[in-house]
C-alpha cells in the first residue's frame, strides 16, 4: 500500500492527479485484502485498468487499485469454436494478437483498442462493425456487496451501445476478474463492410481477406486516424454518438441538409464528430486542451500540461454549443472521476 501516488502514468490523458492510497494487485486474494483496507477506513475505491477511458478531474481521496491479474486459458467448444478466458489485467491489444497468432477469429476488428481485458465489457467496446457482445460468453466478477465471485452471462450484462449493466445499476458494485470469449477456429466470419476496411484491403490487392488481413487493415486505419496516447494524451472518443427520434432528425434535415444519420430501430444515430465539427470545434484549442484536428470527437491534452478540470470544462463547452445549434444533448463516453 503506497500513499500520495501520482496517477499521471495510469491515465492516457496524462493528467496529473494524486491518489491518497495506491496498490497494485496480482491475485483475487490481494484484491479482497485491498477492498477490506478500503472499507475498514470508509475510503472510496477507484479501479484502474489501462486508464484509457477515464478523466481524473482532481486528486482522488481514496484507494486506487491497479488490477494486474494475468493469465489466458482455453477450452475447445465443438468443431469450429474455442472458449478463451483472459484475466482482467491482460492488455486488450496483446490479447487480440495472441488470439490472431493462434488463428482464432472474432476479435480482429477490435485490434489496437487501448485498455485491458477486464474493462472491455463495461462499455461493450466496439469498432469497425464488431462489439464485444458478438463474442462474449461470460465474465467472472467480485460482487462488492457479498464479497463472493459470480458469473455474468450475455443476458445479465445487458449490453447496449457503449453500455452495460456495469455502467448502469451495477456501477461500482462489481469488479470484473476475467472474461470468456467464444471464438472461431475455422470458417471465420470476416467483416469488412464497415469504415475504410474494404478500401484498405483493396489498396493492398487483397480480395479474399483472412482475419489477419482484417486486423492489419484495422491497425493501419487506426494508426492513421487516431492520436497515439503515448504521444498526445487522449481517451479516444470523448462522447457517444447520440440517438435521436426520427421526427427530430427529419426536422434537422430541413435545416441542415448534410446532416448524417444511421437508422437505429425507430430512431436515428447521428455521428457526434460531425455535430462537433459543424459547431467549429475541430482542431480548436483553448489553453492546454484541443479537439483533435483530424477527429473532432477526440479531445486531446494538447500541451501535455492540461488538468482534468480544464478538459472537463472544454467538453462542457462542446456539449453547450451542440445543444444550442442542434438541440441534441451529447453524453460523455469517458468515465469522469
Ligand atoms: C486512442 C484511443 C482509442 C480508443 N478507441 C476505442 C474504440 O474504438 N472503441 C471503444 O469501445 N473504446 C475505445 N477507446 C476507449 C477505451 O480504450 C476502452 O473504453 C477500454 O475498454 C478502456 O479500458 P481501460 O482498461 O483503459 O479502462 P480504464 O480507463 O482503466 O477504466 C474504465 C472504467 O472502468 C473501471 N474499471 C477498470 N477496471 C475494472 C474492472 N476490472 N472491473 C470493474 N470496473 C473496472 C474504472 O474504474 C473506470 O471507471 C479508445 C481509447 C483511446 C485512448
Residue 225: band (very low, low, confident or very high) from pLDDT cuts 50, 70, 90: confident
Cell of 144: 462488492
Could you give the CA distance from residue 25 to residue 44 in angstroms, rounded to a whole number? 17
Residue 96: band (very low, low, confident or very high) from pLDDT cuts 50, 70, 90: very high
Residue 195 CB contacts under 8 Å (≥ 6 apart), including other chains:
128, 129, 221
Protein residue whose Cα sits closest to atom 12 of ligand 1: 125
Residues 79, 211: one domain? yes
Residues 108, 220: one domain? yes
Q: Residue 62 belongs to a domain with what CATH number?
A: 3.30.43.10
- Rg (alpha carbons) of the chain, rounded to whole number: 21
Tell me: the pLDDT tens digits for 18-40?
999 999 999 999 999 999 999 99
Tell me: the pLDDT tens digits for 122-133?
999 999 989 999
Could you give the CA distance from residue 105 to residue 205 in angstroms, rounded to a whole number? 22
Q: What are phi and psi of 98, to 5 degrees?
A: -60, -45
176 lines ligand 1 (CB under 6 A): yes
Residues 45, 78: one domain? no
Average pLDDT over residues 154-179: 95
Q: Is the pLDDT of residue 195 over 80?
A: no
Give the residue numbers annotated as catalytic, written as ranges.
Answer: 162, 237, 333
The residue whose CB lies within 8 Å of the most ligand 1 atoms, and thus the one to mutate among 7, 28, 46, 52, is: 52
Nearest alpha carbon to residue 63 among 95, 19, 101: 19
- Where do runs of H (alpha helix) occur along 14-67? 28-40
Question: For ligand 1, what atom is nearest to the CA of residue 47?
Answer: 47
Residues 90, 213: one domain? yes
Cell of 78: 465443438
Residues 182, 100: one domain? yes
Note down the domain range covering 238.
233-336
Q: Kind of pairing, strands 285-286 and 148-153?
A: unpaired
Cell of 265: 430501430
User: How high does pLDDT run on average in the chain?
Assistant: 96
Residues 195, 114: one domain? yes
User: What pLDDT shows up at residue 73?
Assistant: 98
Q: Residue 200 belongs to a domain with what CATH number?
A: 3.30.465.10
Tell me: the pLDDT tens digits for 51-89?
999 999 999 999 999 999 999 999 999 999 999 999 999
Rounded to whole angstroms, the maximal C-alpha distance in the chain is 61
User: What pLDDT shows up at residue 6?
Assistant: 98
Amino acid at each position: 500500500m503506497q500513499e500520495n501516488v501520482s496517477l499521471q502514468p495510469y491515465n492516457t490523458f496524462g493528467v496529473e492527479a494524486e491518489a491518497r492510497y495506491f496498490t497494485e494487485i496480482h491475485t483475487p486474494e490481494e484484491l479482497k485484502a485491498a477492498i477490506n483496507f478500503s472499507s475498514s477506513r470508509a475510503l472510496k475505491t477507484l479501479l484502474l485498468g489501462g486508464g484509457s477511458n477515464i478523466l481524473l478531474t482532481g486528486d482522488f481521496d481514496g484507494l486506487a487499485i491497479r488490477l494486474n491479474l494475468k493469465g489466458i486459458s482455453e477450452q475447445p467448444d465443438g468443431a469450429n469454436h474455442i472458449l478463451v478466458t483472459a484475466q482482467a489485467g491482460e492488455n486488450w491489444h496483446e490479447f487480440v494478437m495472441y488470439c490472431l497468432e493462434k488463428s482464432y477469429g472474432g476479435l480482429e476488428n477490435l485490434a489496437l483498442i487501448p485498455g485491458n481485458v477486464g474493462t472491455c465489457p463495461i462499455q461493450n467496446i466496439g469498432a469497425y462493425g464488431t462489439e464485444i457482445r458478438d463474442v462474449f460468453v461470460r465474465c467472472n466478477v467480485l460482487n462488492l456487496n457479498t464479497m463472493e465471485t459470480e458469473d455474468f452471462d450475455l443476458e445479465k450484462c445487458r449490453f447496449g451501445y457503449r453500455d452495460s449493466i456495469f455502467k448502469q445499476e451495477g456501477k461500482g458494485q462489481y469488479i470484473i476478474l476475467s472474461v470468456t470469449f467464444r471464438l472461431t477456429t475455422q470458417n471465420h466470419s470476416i467483416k469488412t463492410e464497415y469504415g475504410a476496411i474494404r478500401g484498405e484491403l483493396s489498396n493492398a490487392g487483397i480480395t479474399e481477406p483472412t482475419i489477419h488481413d482484417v486486423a492489419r487493415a484495422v491497425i493501419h486505419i487506426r494508426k492513421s486516424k487516431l492520436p497515439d496516447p503515448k504521444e498526445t494524451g487522449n481517451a479516444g472518443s470523448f462522447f457517444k454518438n447520440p440517438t435521436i427520434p426520427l421526427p427530430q432528425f427529419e426536422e434537422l434535415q430541413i435545416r441542415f441538409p448534410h446532416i448524417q444519420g444511421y437508422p437505429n430501430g425507430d430512431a436515428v444515430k447521428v455521428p457526434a464528430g460531425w455535430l462537433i465539427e459543424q459547431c467549429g470545434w475541430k482542431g480548436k484549442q483553448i489553453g492546454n486542451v484541443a479537439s483533435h484536428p483530424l477527429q473532432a470527437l477526440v479531445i486531446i491534452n494538447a500541451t501535455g500540461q492540461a488538468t482534468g478540470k480544464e478538459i472537463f470544462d472544454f467538453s462542457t463547452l462542446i456539449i453547450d454549443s451542440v445543444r444550442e445549434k442542434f438541440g441534441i444533448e451529447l453524453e460523455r463516453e469517458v468515465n469522469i472521476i
